[in-house]
Structure 1
Amino acid sequence: MIEVLRPSDLPRARATGRLVADILQTLKARSAVGTNLLELDRLTARLIDEAGAQSCYVDYAPSFGRGPFAHHVCTSVNDAVLHGRPHDYALAAGDLVSLDLAVSLDGIVADSAISFVVEGDGGGAGAGATDLDLIATTERALAAAVDVVRPGARVGDLSHAIGQVVKGAGYRVNTQFGGHGVGTTMHQDPHIANDGRPGRGYTLRPGLLLAIEPWVMADTDELVTDADGWTLRSATGCRTAHSEHTVAVTESGVEVLTLPSGAAPA
């Protein structure tokens, strides 16, 4: 299903996007040495509930997962890159963390992800150059895709923009999991692969909401699945990163919805 929202739905989409972005920034600020992933999940649940919103993950049970996800945020650490299921793990200095969150507020969904490195406590290990490059590459790829979003553009244009950045930085691309449409539900068509040919695929139109999500692994494009049936890791154990925004296709171009409160519009 591809859902196109009405102009009157855009204020609700903006509110959901801000909520998702603000929760992610709160979680990042709480992600210190010793913070348990289950603590982050409980905090996410509380913030969603206080906002009068609903989690898109708790009851999420797609064909590629094993039963309901049963948590409120994806917490992927180091070699985990997607669908990281929160578990009893305390963050350590230098951990590369990706947080992915999707929430429904007043019937509209927004989906976003951020990656960062846990700062050392008392001068401990911090971010390495490889980690920072991984994160920066996903952020540049995301920005490149957002730059080509406009009415009349094709999904392949977005995929091509992402792939050019990722491959240009020397990384391989996995096209199995990527971006997608959102709206009143979390995962909709069109699928936005992280590489592709320009001028191909679905033609964008005003009212379409897209979750664009480049992700990279340092030295592979192969994934393995944890015993939990959800967490996807690099097949080689290498580090990974993931960035995602929900954007709205507007009459004049594009609006990034998942910016924190107070951030300048993109």
Structure 2
Amino acid sequence: MAVNPDAINRYARHLVLKEIGGPGQQALLQSRVVIVGAGGLGGPAGLYLAAAGVGHITIIDDDKVDASNLQRQVQFISSDIGMDKATIMADTLDDLNPDVTTRGIVQRLNADNAHALLQGADIVIDGVDDFKARFITNDACLRLGLPLVSGALGRFKGQVSVFNTDADAPCYRCLVPDIPPDSETCAAVGVVGALAGVIGSVMALEVIKLITGAGDSLAGRLWLYDGLAAESRTITLPKDAACPACSNNSG
């Protein structure tokens, strides 16, 4: 990293960590992350990644800010209501760290545009609340060879995992092969706002670890958090030989 007093001051707490240091911080500044979904998970993840100095952050979301979002989507304020989430969040991350180049794409990720929108990224974050969109994101990441950091939450529980890190690692559909018939959104079941911050922050941490090579990622593992019990556990998530997306027999 260039000897820049402003940068040294901004990233001082990273620079003293032997797991990150100067080389890790340089890797962060040169990395490209795409966040799919500027909501309860993508918001806190994006805030922490921008603060960490991730050099290029793209946010993809076609939704607008609604008053009901403000209970958990801390990247927005009341005056943002009615504005495009991707645009507002990109502006917020710009204000947070001038070292970060942001891009807000006001589109819904779909099977037709996913390859083009994700191409060029180093890591993709899945912060959506829709299984179809998750499957599309996962499939595009598989084709592009991109690691996928995925989180989910509902009521008082959440989970995080890392997919597609190598040929032997599981993908998202090793965990969820098909769309559950009883799938429910946060709008239907509710969610405590602070939980989004917990899960989104863990997602950001996993991205930072992947970029810098620090520690052990959640690749091949699923981290489960129970906010009511204040307990968490990590379980093994093996690659599924019959996975419809990443097995040798898949299309």
Please classify the TM superposition score into its range, dividing by the shorter chain length. under 0.3
Q: Which has the higher strand share?
A: 1
TM-score (norm 2): 0.26
Which is bigger in relative contact order (C-alpha 8 A, separation at least 6)? 1
Q: Which has the higher helix share?
A: 2
TM-score (norm 1): 0.25
